[in-house]
Amino acid sequence: EPEVTQTPSHQVTQMGQEVILRCVPISNHLYFYWYRQILGQKVEFLVSFYNNEISEKSEIFDDQFSVERPDGSNFTLKIRSTKLEDSAMYFCATGDIGSNQPQHFGDGTRLSIL
Amino acid sequence: QKEVEQNSGPLSVPEGAIASLNCTYSDRGSQSFFWYRQYSGKSPELIMSIYSNGDKEDGRFTAQLNKASQYVSLLIRDSQPSDSATYLCAVSRGFQKLVFGTGTRLLVSP
């Protein structure tokens, strides 16, 4: 069964550094999403991406964050000037065309800011 | 008012019993409703989707939707210890963002 692939599985970074989280979507999926889950809390939406542009973003997704599809396959989340509170699991999800298609999640990247 | 509400649990059931998980949502424009299972430290795994009022069955799982009451439920029949996990209710408007509840922790004892 096709799956969403995320790398790295675990990233440890010093506060203030930049990190890039990578996702390879399921090949025929057109909708891409990033979510995060702080330990012990619920899964929160960050941003959705369709047709090479952001379609929606949450209040969490401020100027510190950016997304892109640099090579038409990978989907990346960049976090600049990381803060301690950015420590969380970051999940990429993708969805097929069709308004009611479910989103499929990758295994996540555990981001630890020291 | 929380957008998606779930009882955090834990819900404890013996092996072989029926586990009943409930969820309410506030956005009447919601069109798609999902149940995800999340094991500790893992990513959400889709187990059921439902889009219209009524029941939808898939194996041991039955999802129920009542849009008038803004209520979604998941029944797990013949519960197994391997079903022990956190069950996340999520709703969306079509292909838009998923809004998750906090999840209900289910414990199935042998």
Looking at residue A45, what is its pLDDT? Answer: 97
pLDDT band at B94 (very low <50, low <70, confident <90, very high): confident
pLDDT of A1 strictly over 80: no
Residues B13-66 have pLDDT tens digits of 999 999 999 999 999 999 999 999 999 999 999 999 999 999 999 999 999 999
- The mean pLDDT value for A61-69 works out to 94
CA–CA separation, A59 and A56 (whole Å): 10
**Number of A–B residue contacts, CB under 8 Å:** 61
Looking at residue A41, what is its pLDDT? Answer: 95
The type of residue at A74 is N
CA–CA separation, B47 and B54 (whole Å): 17
- The mean pLDDT value for A74-89 works out to 96
Which residue of A31, A45, A89 is in closest CB contact with B95?
Answer: A31
Give chain B's contact residues with A (Cβ, < 8 Å).
31-32, 34, 36, 42-46, 49, 51, 88, 90, 94-103
Strands A75-79 and A19-24 turn out to be antiparallel
Q: Supply φ then ψ for residue A101, to 5 degrees.
A: -70, 135
Q: How far is B19 from chain A (nearest CA, A)?
A: 21
pLDDT of A84 strictly over 70: yes
Which residue of B43, B46, B96 is in closest CB contact with A56?
Answer: B96
